[in-house]
Amino acid sequence: MWQRIQTLYLVIVLILSSITFFSPAAQLFSKETATLYEISWKGINLIENGQKTAISSVWALTVISAMVPVITLLTIALYKKRLLQIRLSIFNIVILAGYYILLFIYLLPAANTLHADWSLKIFSVFPLVNIILIALAIRAIAKDDALIKSLNRLR
């Protein structure tokens, strides 16, 4: 299990998705009222004097952010079932694409409502990196599967 390159890719995805879950995804800054807002797994929070006050919930974004590391861990654990690993990895890519869609569904209306400018944090790049790493893992799993099938033909 650990000697395969796809496991390394998936462990990196697990680490990055865990960091993404606990880190803020975006910031909103209102020039009119000079207030700062933050979008994270806890919701949209107003930040004043170091205190965070919840403004709105982003439960769908939280659920998706929590699903990615769980599915990745499950994919790593199912190392003997390569086709299931590929299917779970594809599902994980779809979920990560949905993360970006939901992030902008929450971000753009909040920016309009609060009359604020938005900016993405560095942590919001991690799902894109995860998509690339999962695609590399799928390719490695498919190579592994082809090798096993070719060895079975020789027997």
Of 53, 26, 20, 23, residue with least CA distance to 39: 26
Chunk the chain into consecutive blocks of 10 residues (it has 155) and report each block's average pLDDT, rounded to whole numbers: 81 95 91 87 86 87 94 92 94 96 92 89 94 96 87 69
- Domain spanning 5-154 has what CATH number? 1.20.140
**What are the domain boundaries of the chain?**
5-154
| pTM to 2 decimal places | 0.88
How many Å apart are CA 23 and CA 16, to the nearest integer? 10
What pLDDT, in 10s, does the model give residues 47-74? 888 788 888 888 999 999 999 999 999 9
DSSP-derived 3-state class of residue 81: coil
